[in-house]
Amino acid sequence: MIYRASHLQKNKTWNADVCIIGTGAGGSSVASELSRRGEKVIMVEAGEFILPKQMNQREQDMFPKLFFEGGARRTRDKSIRVIHGKGVGGSTLHNINLCKKPPRELIDHWELKNFGYDQFLPSVDQVWDDLKVSEIEPHQRNTANELFKKGIDHLGLSGGPLHHNRVGCYQSGFCELGCSFNAKMNALRVYVPQVIDNGGIILSETRAQKLHLSGRKISHLTCDVFNAKNQKVSTQLIRAKRFISAAGAIESPLLLQRSGVPDPHGQVGKNLRLHPGVVALGVFEKTVNCWQGIPQSYECDEFLKFSKDPTVNRVWLITSSAHPIGASSIVPGFGKTHQSMMAQYPHIVPITPMIHDFTSGNVSSTFGGSVDINYSLIQSDRQQLSLGLKEASKILLAAGATKVIIPTRNPITLNSFREIERADLSVLNWDLDMVAVHPMGSLSMGENEQSSAITTSLRYHHLDNLFISDASVYPTSLGIPPQISTYAVGKYLSTKI
């Protein structure tokens, strides 16, 4: 059963075999496996239980429901916006359904004796099948992605169609606001029903506040229930044999820190990676309406390599899109200048370079209780973003764009390949809007407790019954969308408990 705040008006104590904090990719997949084998599972979710028919395709309504801080959460220096989802289904409610398997080369670089590619791949393949992943067909590409492919082909770059987990897609283009057509094969559609059918319980609108310790174990979790008006209505206490934090790379370390878990080597919240991106805007004579249709269906991986050398190219290029409200917050300028930029939006193809980042940040709470994401790009990462902007600009001109706009505070307009080569596209804080939609790595796994937070079996080093099942477990950035890998983390964990 799924409980809303309206069902949880009184304080209550619950008992379970397993308590899972978070209902996204990692939480839902491990919950489905554990409940299937007869374990009593209780899941806790800070966000609401939102049915597809309630996803009304309105940014002003859905952003507060689907994103922490309404999608406005930023790094300490305010230079990068960090998107992190909530709701029953977690970030799988709003993601764009991009499916990529983790690269063998990357996992080999981790050099973990007890966590290798061949050990992890069965979990990845199982998720691939469960979510009915398929290649996005040519007839499903919107105009923006067709133009992106045209530019890639013209320049002879490496690229290809992406894979997705959609069945019954109407190609409405509102993926980031939740799918009102229920076409996403996500946590809410695939794994959550399995958990409920197997007798599992989900407490939505319920914020995990503190894990309580008894020796080397967690004895219970206390949670506060908040209604739609953000008013606290009750406290829920959950006793369980095992606890799994699957709240994501921002919220999981914050929970552990609030709980005062033993952390002798300061690894909780450390090693955060953001997979940040920027954008180049190609202006075309024809009408594009990039927000219509499947947002991202083609990729350019010419410049994406998985090396330990930070000077090696590590940029992934894809199209991006935003509905008018979101776009207006990114497009620079004020008054008539901003109006002029927005008037061109129907003719714009945005390309986003995202980097396999080497920057390592930290997550913690301030004294006032707000989230502190301390992450400042190292120079080699800035250089990779600059490379991405130049290559994206070339692709856009090759596709037939009349000009390319880099939306810095004082926008840079590029009209030729020569101008691109000569342009200074340095990525500076507060000059160019940067967005991170794939935070990961803040509770990284490893074999040495002095340099990692959890074991390769995903158990917290210093406690016997606390496990992690989300994107925080990765020792490095993945350099690709982490959706499939994170679902697979949950499947993998179910074999270790």
Q: Measured in Å, how far apart are the chain's first and last C-alpha atoms? A: 24
CA gap 187, 379 in Å, rounded? 37
Confidence of residue 321 (pLDDT cuts 50, 70, 90): confident
Per-residue 3-state assignment (H helix, E strand, C coil) for 225-255: EECCCCCEEEEEEEEEEEEEECCHHHHHHHH
CB distance 455 to 436 below 8 Å? no
What are the beta bridge partners of residue 298? 161
The chain-wide mean pLDDT, for the chain, equals 96
Q: What percentage of the chain exceeds 90 in pLDDT?
A: 91
Mean per-residue pLDDT for 473-480?
A: 97
> Could you give the CA distance from residue 439 to residue 273 in angstroms, rounded to a whole number?
6
Mean pLDDT of 1-19: 97
> Token match 């309105």: residue?
58
Q: How far is CA 111 from CA 422, 445, 446, 451, 496, in A?
A: 41, 11, 9, 13, 19
Six token digits for residue 236: 């829920």
Pairwise CA distance, residues 417 & 413, whole Å: 12
| pLDDT per position as a tens digit, 190-213 | 999 999 999 999 999 999 999 999
Pairing of strands 159-161, 298-300: antiparallel
Q: How far is CA 121 from CA 88, 107, 118, 352, 469, in A?
A: 27, 11, 5, 29, 16
Residue 325, pLDDT score: 75
C-beta separation of 319 from 291 below 8 A: no
Per-residue pLDDT reduced to its tens digit, 429-467? 889 989 999 999 999 999 999 999 999 999 999 999 999
Q: Which residues make beta-bridge pairs with 18?
A: 41, 242
User: Residue 329 has what pLDDT?
Assistant: 76
**Rounded to the nearest 5 degrees, what angle is found at the Cα of 371, between the Cα atoms of 365 and 375?**
95
Give 332's pLDDT tier (boundaries 50, 70, 90).
Answer: confident
pLDDT at 336 over 90: no
Contact present, 363 and 369 (Cβ < 8 Å): no
Instruction: Give pLDDT tens digits for 371-397.
Output: 999 999 999 999 999 999 999 999 999
pLDDT(335) > 90 = no
- Is the model's pLDDT at 326 over the cut of 80? no
Contacts 24+ apart (CB under 8 A), 325-334: 325/59, 325/60, 326/59, 326/176, 327/291, 330/279, 330/407, 330/433, 331/407, 332/407, 332/408, 332/409, 332/410, 332/411, 333/411
More confident site: 330 or 25: 25
Q: Count Cβ atoms below 10 Å from residue 132 Cβ, excluding itself.
A: 12
Percent of the chain clearing pLDDT 70 (strictly above): 100
Under the banding of pLDDT at 50, 70 and 90, the label for residue 330 is: confident
pLDDT at 53 over 80: yes
Mean pLDDT across the stretch 107-131? 97
Contact 475, 452 (CB under 8 A): yes
What would the two tokens of residue 199 be?
């007798």
Rounded to whole angstroms, the maximal C-alpha distance in the chain is 68
* Of 267-281, 339-353, 387-401, minimum mean pLDDT range: 339-353
Query: Which tokens in the block code for residue 152?
Result: 């890639």
Q: Are 306 and 315 in contact (CB under 8 A)?
A: no
User: Does pLDDT of 46 surpass 90?
Assistant: yes
Instruction: Give the model's pLDDT for residue 31.
Output: 98
Instruction: Tell me the β-bridge partners of 294.
Output: 141
Tell me what pLDDT residue 310 has.
Answer: 94
